[in-house]
Structure 1
Amino acid sequence: MTIQRMDNVGIVVDDLDAAVAFFTELGMELEGRAPIEGSWAGKVVGLADLRSEVAMMRIPGAAGRLELVTYHSPKAIVAEPEISPPNTLGLHRVMFTVDDIEDTLARLRPHGAELVGEVTRYEDSFLLCYLRGPSGIILGLAEELG
């Protein structure tokens, strides 16, 4: 048995509208948005009385999606510390390759993006950086050089 594809990465956010606006500015498209609730949904994730809303984001012309979800019931919990450093165990970073890293940062800053470190050159291959977005999400950005 083999894996057919990676369908999506799920990210829990506290403000779904802000997260959709952030990832739209990054260059993704909103594929769809819907409430998810009921016993079937609660059974899948192991939460009773589940009420949530999901926004599916995609990169135009590319495979893979981000599933942004906000929980209305039960409310999302905040991990300690609230803003986790990059070496925290578990899933917490998504990396995107962009055409122009400085332009991308300039467009994302009005949506709350903050650099975690700094934009750094890796040999003659890439400009790289980590930035923090909505709900403390860490994104990696890479710009391929020459």
Structure 2
Amino acid sequence: MADQTTSARSSLVIPALSPLYAAGTTGAETLLRVLAGVLFAVHGFGKIINPFGAVGMVESLGFYPGVFWSPLLAATEFFGGILLAIGLLTRPAAVAATIVLLVTVYSHWVVKGEGLGGAERSILWSAITFYFAFRGGNAHSLDARIGKQF
């Protein structure tokens, strides 16, 4: 373990910054998870208020019946965002968010024909949620508090 730390420290242009990077990694990761979760929940808030409001949109993407998929989308965005933000059931929430976001990539890129320019935000967001699908919650999560991760 000491060899890895020494190796990582010696590869830095400014080795004195090594303690700063080590101390900030968990905080930066937590901030990214919380922001992603909060923003995902905020985005889903309008859908949770009107869970059948996206019926036409989900059906235009080929998801039938819309009366099933629209509330599921609303719940995934709103409640999944909250779970991601607080770090509870982090991996399942992040997997669900990633699936939703990959559908939006398809929607913008293929269905709407916007290409990369239209899908780039969804690609970035799906990469973030994909990371947490594998990483799970860190030390600053409810998963860590209860001592169990999915």
Shared fold by TM > 0.5?
no
**Higher Cα Rg, which structure:** 2
Greater helix share, 1 or 2?
Answer: 2
Greater strand share, 1 or 2?
Answer: 1
TM-score, normalised to structure 2, is 0.28
